[in-house]
């Protein structure tokens, strides 16, 4: 098992069930981890550790009675600052003007609360969520855990950094033109923008989606079981549909894989399988369609993957 701050939500729930770890145990470890790294990352807004500990204590009591209140009882979650939570202002990442406290939870916050997830904090975003960076006139600069000199991407910048740094397993961002997908890619985590209307959102408008940001595909699927429930406040919501989000089986026969890049021989598409064997997607019936994406040379020159300093015994 990974260190506690690197545990997935599915691992946490299993540990709660078998009593090898309680939500309070995990919360205390997580707070110590955040105290070590948050001064460097600046990923969180409205972080209230005492309120989080109190919620974790109540969850631990429910698990001790074998009476969890919901499917995510005791699992920490963060929400992008733009997603309203009752009693907190929504500053929209900007210092322009005063923001009143939200009167109710937005749909993603409400669904996770219904399943008894524990709100750890909100996460930072740039001004009005309109930059692909971690720079905000209200929150300051959010840094990439892999390399503190690097950008997180945006606009779900704090969520990407929090997920990569192991600030709990579950994080929610919002996305119009890449605001979940870009920071997920730049911070090396899973990001999913679902079909418009699949996750109800408020306020709603064309293109705006909420989406999970996690360290594993399993956890993103687990979050979708909560987030995708309907909410009448979103007039663009899709009709309820019985989707088993946790069924991750994929039939690759007939799929076509487009591999972009300067090397049209599709070098690197074949990956190493367990035991050192080579894995060829085409062997399973998937067609490989090499394409030259014509990336500018300046984007590729000197490109490298840099890992951040050790984060409590493991890389970010």
Task: List the catalytic residue out of 136, 179, 193, 226.
Answer: 179
Rounded CA separation 22/2 (Å): 16
Q: Tell me: the pLDDT tens digits for 174-206?
A: 999 999 999 999 999 999 999 999 999 999 999
**Selected catalytic residue, list 80, 122, 133, 156:** 80
Query: What is d(CA 263, CA 292) in angstroms, rounded to the nearest whole number?
Result: 7
The predicted pLDDT at position 98 comes to 86
Q: Is a pLDDT exceeding 90 seen at residue 226? A: yes
Active site residue 179: yes
> What are the residue boundaries of the structural domains of the chain, listed by start?
4-227
Question: What per-residue confidence (pLDDT) applies to 260?
Answer: 55
**Per-residue pLDDT tens for 146-179?**
999 999 999 999 999 999 999 999 999 999 999 9
Distance between CA atoms of residues 286 and 95, nearest Å:
50
Residues making up the chain, counted from first to last: 316
The full 3-state SS of 26-91, as one line of letters, equals HHHHHHHHHHHHHHHHCCEECCCHHHHHHHHHHHHHHHHCCCCCCCCCCCEEEEECCCCCCCCECC
User: Distance between CA atoms of 184 and 162, rounded to whole angstroms?
Assistant: 11
d(CA 50, CA 37): 18
Percent of the residues in the chain that have a pLDDT greater than 90, as a whole number: 75
Known active-site residue 252: no
Q: Is 80 known to be catalytic? A: yes
CATH topology of domain 4-227: Amidase signature (AS) enzymes (3.90.1300)
What pTM was estimated for this model as a whole?
0.82
pLDDT band of residue 110 (cuts 50, 70, 90) is very high
User: Which pLDDT tens digit goes with each residue over 60-69?
Assistant: 999 999 999 9
CA distances from 222 to 20, 126, 184, 293 (A): 21, 28, 17, 34
Rounded distance between C-alpha atoms, residue 144 and residue 160, angstroms: 8
249-293 residue pLDDT tens: 888 788 887 665 444 333 333 333 333 333 443 344 445 455 444
Q: Could you say which of 133, 155, 156, 226 is catalytic?
A: 155
């Amino acid at each position: 098992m990974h260190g506690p701050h690197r545990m997935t939500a599915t691992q946490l729930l299993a540990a709660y069930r078998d009593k090898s770890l309680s939500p309070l145990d995990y919360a205390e470890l997580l707070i110590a981890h955040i105290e070590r790294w948050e001064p460097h990352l600046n990923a969180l807004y409205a972080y209230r550790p005492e309120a989080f500990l109190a919620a974790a204590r109540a969850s631990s009591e429910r698990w001790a009675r074998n009476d969890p209140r919901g499917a995510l009882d005791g699992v920490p979650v963060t929400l992008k600052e733009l997603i309203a939570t009752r009693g907190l202002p929504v500053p929209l990442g900007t210092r322009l003007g005063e923001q009143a406290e939200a009167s109710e939870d937005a749909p993603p916050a409400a669904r996770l609360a219904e399943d008894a997830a524990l709100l750890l904090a909100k996460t930072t975003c740039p001004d009005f969520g309109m930059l692909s960076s971690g720079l905000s006139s209200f929150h300051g600069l959010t840094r990439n855990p892999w390399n503190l000199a690097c950008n997180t991407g945006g606009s779900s910048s704090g969520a990407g950094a929090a997920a990569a740094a192991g600030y709990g397993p579950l994080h929610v961002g919002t996305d119009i033109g890449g605001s979940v997908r870009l920071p997920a890619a730049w911070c090396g985590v899973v990001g999913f923008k679902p079909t418009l209307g699949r996750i109800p959102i408020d306020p709603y408008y064309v293109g705006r989606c909420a989406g999970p940001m996690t360290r594993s595909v399993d956890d993103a699927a687990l979050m979708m079981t909560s987030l995708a429930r309907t909410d009448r406040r979103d007039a663009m919501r899709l009709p309820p549909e019985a989707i088993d989000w946790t069924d991750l089986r994929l039939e690759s026969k007939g799929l076509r894989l487009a591999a972009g890049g300067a090397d049209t021989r599709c070098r690197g598409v074949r990956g190493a399988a367990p035991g050192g064997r080579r894995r060829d997607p085409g062997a399973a019936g998937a067609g490989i369609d090499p394409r030259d994406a014509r990336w500018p040379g300046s984007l590729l020159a000197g490109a490298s993957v840099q890992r951040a300093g050790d984060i409590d015994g493991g890389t970010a």
